[in-house]
């Protein structure tokens, strides 16, 4: 082979692997190049407003991510991002922000006013795989009114997801992951949220929720009835795992080293709440680990796990926020386990434990005493059990 042929062969082999960097400053420019993007390519978005990004099948990397990057964090802004049938896509540093348009959005049930769920969410990702979202700011307009907050992120029917170092605020439910697998939700900041922070739903499995911070949630708390049609309360949780339909269960869920705070202006919120759908189907969640979390809040459900098999609750600290007065059990977070088979409850600190079956092996858990009124529970004296 002569030198010319050798060079040709070299470039033919190598050129598809050379990543290309693109620069765009509006959505029209991006749409022009989207079909020629290949694994490893990066597209840098100049500061500006890009409107709605809507991709269905246009990006399909193979073994390396196609990266959409805001040149300056938070300066390239979308109103919505909708992705379907996408593979190997990374979003880095964007702001996703909708303008509030409903001043009287009280009901937590979106069916009540006939709104289309799809239109309501800042980000929707479906039927996709290998998705990274990092360093993004997902936030409605930063007003003090939580009645007009939209939903934030919904990812459904998708696998291999990394969601890390994002900031989510001024939303109704911040992040829903439904029917997902192989998911890592790491070091995100959730604050000024009206309802749930992280909501794991459907048949989700292999989910790691680690090192996230939750603070200052504002659930709407007025209740006008006890049935689901008239109950207008938000059931706000920092982390909720709750399958939606019968015969669905969550599997291999790990919740580690998260910080769950009521905050200095927020309302009491459930911190970690896990339950299989209470439909009498007998389906249990399976393999749940809750380890090393720090909770300081003002609601009974500090860590609650109902309907599950194989549960480990270890080395968590569950305190009553110093902003809560008194020792009412309803405003003092505890560790509550019901209808669980095979639980290890080990080296936790909490004021209250509800352990209603014999198969548990509680060991070395610390029980805090409440010292009434305005005392900080953090300073309460403790006894070992």
Give the span between the Cα atoms of 342 and 352, in whole angstroms. 20
Nearest approach, Cβ of 299 to Ca ion (angstroms)? Answer: 11
Of the candidates 41, 92, 237, 307, which one interacts with Ca ion according to CB under 5 A? 237
The first and second tokens of residue 302, run together, are 């500090």
Of the candidates 127, 235, 254, 376, which one interacts with Ca ion according to CB under 5 A? 235
Q: Measured from the CB atom, is 5 or 104 closer to Ca ion?
A: 104
Q: Measured from the CB atom, is 34 or 193 closer to Ca ion?
A: 193
Of the candidates 70, 240, 277, 285, which one interacts with Ca ion according to CB under 5 A? 240
Sites for Ca ion among residues 356-385 (CB under 5 A): none
Nearest approach, Cβ of 272 to Ca ion (angstroms)? Answer: 11
The first and second tokens of residue 303, run together, are 């860590």
Nearest to 284 by CA among 248, 245, 335: 248
Nearest to 218 by CA among 268, 176, 261, 272: 268
Binding range to Ca ion, per CB under 5 A, among 106-114, 151-159, 230-238, 253-261:
230-238
Nearest approach, Cβ of 144 to Ca ion (angstroms)? Answer: 7
Binding range to Ca ion, per CB under 5 A, among 44-52, 184-192, 239-247, 351-359:
239-247
Sites for Ca ion among residues 148-187 (CB under 5 A): 148-149, 170
Nearest approach, Cβ of 69 to Ca ion (angstroms)? Answer: 28
Binding residue count for Ca ion, defined by CB under 5 A: 9
Q: Measured from the CB atom, is 39 or 147 closer to Ca ion?
A: 147
Nearest approach, Cβ of 235 to Ca ion (angstroms)? Answer: 4
Give the span between the Cα atoms of 31 and 40, in whole angstroms. 18
Concatenate the DSSP letters of all residues of 244-307 into one string. Answer: -STT---EEEEEES-EEE-TTTPPP-EEEEEE---SSS---EEEEEEES-EEEESSSEEEEEEE
Q: Measured from the CB atom, is 83 or 185 closer to Ca ion?
A: 185
Contact 258, 211 (CB under 8 A): yes
| Maximal C-alpha separation, the chain | 89
Beta-carbon-side half-sphere exposure of residue 348 (alpha carbons within 13 Å)? 28
The helix/strand/coil state of 182 is: strand
In whole angstroms, how large is the CA radius of gyration of the chain?
A: 23
Nearest approach, Cβ of 333 to Ca ion (angstroms)? Answer: 15
Sites for Ca ion among residues 193-222 (CB under 5 A): 196
- Residue 44 to residues 25, 27, 48, 77, 367: CA-CA distances in angstroms? 8, 12, 12, 13, 53
Q: Measured from the CB atom, is 89 or 261 closer to Ca ion?
A: 261
Binding range to Ca ion, per CB under 5 A, among 160-168, 229-237, 334-342, 377-385:
229-237
x-or-dash pattern for Ca ion, window 115-154, by CB under 5 A? Answer: ----------------------------x-x--xx-----
Residues lying near Ca ion in the complex (CB under 5 A): 143, 145, 148-149, 170, 196, 235, 237, 240
């Amino acid at each position: 082979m002569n030198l010319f042929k050798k060079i040709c062969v070299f470039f033919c082999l190598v050129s598809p692997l050379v990543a290309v960097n693109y620069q765009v400053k509006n959505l029209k420019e991006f749409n022009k190049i989207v079909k020629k993007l290949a694994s490893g390519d990066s597209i840098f978005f100049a500061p500006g407003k890009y409107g709605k990004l809507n991709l269905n099948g246009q990006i399909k990397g193979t073994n390396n991510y196609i990266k959409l990057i805001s040149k300056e964090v938070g300066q390239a802004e979308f109103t919505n991002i909708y992705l379907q049938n996408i593979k190997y896509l990374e979003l880095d540093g964007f702001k996703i922000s909708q303008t509030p348009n409903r001043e009287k959005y009280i009901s937590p049930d979106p069916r009540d006013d006939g709104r289309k769920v799809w239109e309501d969410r800042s980000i929707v990702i479906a039927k996709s795989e290998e998705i990274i979202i990092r360093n993004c700011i997902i936030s409605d307009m930063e007003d003090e009114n939580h009645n007009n907050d939209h939903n934030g992120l919904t990812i459904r029917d998708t696998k291999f997801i990394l969601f890390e170092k994002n900031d989510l605020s001024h939303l109704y439910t911040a992040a829903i992951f439904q029917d997902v697998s192989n998911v890592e939700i790491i070091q995100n900041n959730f604050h000024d949220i009206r309802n749930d922070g992280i909501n794991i739903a459907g048949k989700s499995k292999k989910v790691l929720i680690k090192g996230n911070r939750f603070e200052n949630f504002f659930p709407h708390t007025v209740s006008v009835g006890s049935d689901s049609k008239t109950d207008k309360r938000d059931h706000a949780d920092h982390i909720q795992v709750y399958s939606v339909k019968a015969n669905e269960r969550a599997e291999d869920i790990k919740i580690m080293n998260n910080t769950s705070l009521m905050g200095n202006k927020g309302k009491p919120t459930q911190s970690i709440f896990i339950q299989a759908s209470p439909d009498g189907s007998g389906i249990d969640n399976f393999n749940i680990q809750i380890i090393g979390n720090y909770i300081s809040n003002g609601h009974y459900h500090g860590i609650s796990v109902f309907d599950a098999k194989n549960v480990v609750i270890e080395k968590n600290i569950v305190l009553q926020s110093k902003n809560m007065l008194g020792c009412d059990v309803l405003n003092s977070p505890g560790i509550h386990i019901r209808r669980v088979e095979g639980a290890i409850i080990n080296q936790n600190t909490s004021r209250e434990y509800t352990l209603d079956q014999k198969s548990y092996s509680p060991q070395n858990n610390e029980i805090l005493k409440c010292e009434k009124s305005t005392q900080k529970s953090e300073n309460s004296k403790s006894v070992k059990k």
